[in-house]
Chains A and B, each alone.
Chain A
Amino acid sequence: ETGVTQTPRHLVMGMTNKKSLKCEQHLGHNAMYWYKQSAKKPLELMFVYNFKEQTENNSVPSRFSPECPNSSHLFLHLHTLQPEDSALYLCASSQDPRGNYGYTFGSGTRLTVV
C-alpha cells in the first residue's frame, strides 16, 4: 500500500450506467489528481484539486465528473461512458510542494465500458 487507496480495483459498466470511483489518502497531502492511462498512450492528466478546490480540468468530457469533499477524498463520477473510456484510472496525491517533489499514486481502477 502506498498510502493512496482506490476502490474498486476493477469495474465493468454499461454505457447507460452511473458509477463512481473513489480515492482516499491519509498522507496529509493537499493536492489530489485523476489520471487516465490508456494503452500505448502517456498518462493523461484529467483533474487537479488543491486544498479541495479544482484547479485544473484538462478538457475532460462532462461524462466524467470529479468531486473532492475534503483533502483526503476524491471521487470520479461516471455516467453514459463510451467503450473508448475503458482504461486504467489512477488517483495521485502530493504535498504542497517544497523539497522532494513527486506524486504518490494509488493502484488504479481498471474500468471496462461495455
Chain B
Amino acid sequence: DQQVKQNSPSLSVQEGRISILNCDYTNSMFDYFLWYKKYPAEGPTFLISISSIKDKNEDGRFTVFLNKSAKHLSLHIVPSQPGDSAVYFCAASVMNYGGSQGNLIFGKGTKLSVKP
C-alpha cells in the first residue's frame, strides 16, 4: 500500500504561470517531507524540504506547503519556466528518536511540462 501518493502522473503549464504539484501521505508518523526533481537520464536531485513543525517553506521560485491535518503537501513553482520541465517526486520520512533520518519513501512522481 502506497504511503506517499502523487495522483497526477502529469501536469502541463504555460510558461510564466504557476505550477502546483500535489502529494498526499497516509502515515501520520511522517515528519519530514522533500521534493526531488528528475531530468531524463539523470538521478533525482533535491529541491526543497519541509519539517512537520512548519506549514510553509520558500526557496526562490519554489514554495512547499504542508497541511498536516489533511496529510497533504504541495509544491508551487512561480513563475514556471521551460527548464522546470521534469519529473517531480514527493518523499517523506520519519525522524527516528535521537534525530536519525528514517528512510525516504517516494511517490510515483508527476511529470511537469512547461510550455513556452
A contact residues vs B (CB 8 Å cutoff)? 2, 4, 6, 31, 33, 35, 40-43, 45, 48, 56, 90, 92, 94, 96-98, 100-108
- The answer to whether B44 and A105 have CB atoms under 8 Å apart is yes
**With A42-B4, A100-B49, A101-B34: A90-B44 Cβ-Cβ less than 8 Å:** yes
B93 near A: Cβ within 8 Å? yes
Contacts of A42 in B (CB 8 A): 2, 4, 89, 105-109
**With A40-B108, A41-B108, A42-B4: A92-B103 Cβ-Cβ less than 8 Å:** no
B1-33, CB under 8 A of A: which get 1 and which 0? Answer: 010100001000000000000000000000010
Contacts of A100 in B (CB 8 A): 49
Distance to closest chain A CB from B62 (angstroms): 14
Q: How far is the CA of A110 from the CA of B103 in the complex (A)?
A: 23
A35 to B, closest residue via Cβ: B106
B contact residues vs A (CB 8 Å cutoff)? 2, 4, 9, 32, 34, 36, 41-46, 49, 89, 91, 93, 95, 99-101, 103-109
- The answer to whether A105 and B108 have CB atoms under 8 Å apart is no
Q: How far is the CA of A94 from the CA of B101 in the complex (A)?
A: 9
Distance to closest chain B CB from A99 (angstroms): 9
Contacts of B44 in A (CB 8 A): 43, 90, 103, 105
- Point out the residue from B43, B103, B105 that lies within 8 Å of A107, measured CB to CB: B43
Q: How far is the CA of A43 from the CA of B43 in the complex (A)?
A: 11
B87 to A, closest residue via Cβ: A37
Distance to closest chain B CB from A38 (angstroms): 10
